[in-house]
Amino acid sequence: MILAAIIACEVGFWVAIVAGLVARYAYNRPKLGAALLLAAPLIDLILLLLVAVDLLGGGTASWHHGLAALYIGISVAYGHRMIAWADAKVATRFRGAEPRPVLYGAAYAVACWKDVPRTLLASAIAAAILGGLILLVGDAERTAELLGFFPILGLIVGIDLLWAISYSVWPKRAPAAAG
């Protein structure tokens, strides 16, 4: 059930974003668009409530519950950036706005380093949710699966840190100009 809820919330997240952008650009209704875009964080709250209700109702934690915590952490930490990216793409396509520049070299490395704190925030949020669920349920047997997600969160942060380091050492090069 929780896996279906995660999928539904992910679909709902992108439906809210697309509907917000369509309202903003296709129908020239910026306030409606903003309201629909604000629905995205509410979807995270719904997922959190579903996970808590499932566990408090006697459910045993599975990897789905840990995935829900990770999804919420990423959505909160990266959600604004994902929405801004989609908004810029739609503005470029339908309003003739300048496309965002493609980053190379030091600028790309700096962008990678800016992601490290976001990833730390996403992992911290996921860890807080996992810890809160463990404490809320108060049954080590039923929540044992959630403990396995803490090393995964550390691995995610480590990979993002290595990504930033690698592009600092070996900068991303611009493609060669076609001759």
Say how far apart CA 82 and CA 28 lie, in whole Å: 21
Q: Provide the whole-model pTM.
A: 0.86
Q: How large a percentage of the chain has pLDDT more than 70?
A: 98
How far apart CA 67 and CA 159 sit, in angstroms, is 18
DSSP letter string, 95-122: H-PPPPPPP-HHHHHHHHHHHHHHHHHH
Is the pLDDT score of 179 beyond 70?
Answer: no
Distance CA 36, CA 58 (A): 34
pLDDT on residue 151: 96
CA dihedral 117, 121, 89, 16 (to 10 degrees): -170
In tens, the pLDDT along 72-120 reads 999 899 988 988 898 899 889 888 889 999 999 999 999 999 999 999 9
Radius of gyration (Cα) for the chain, nearest Å?
19
Q: In the predicted model, what is the mean pLDDT of residues 152-169?
A: 97
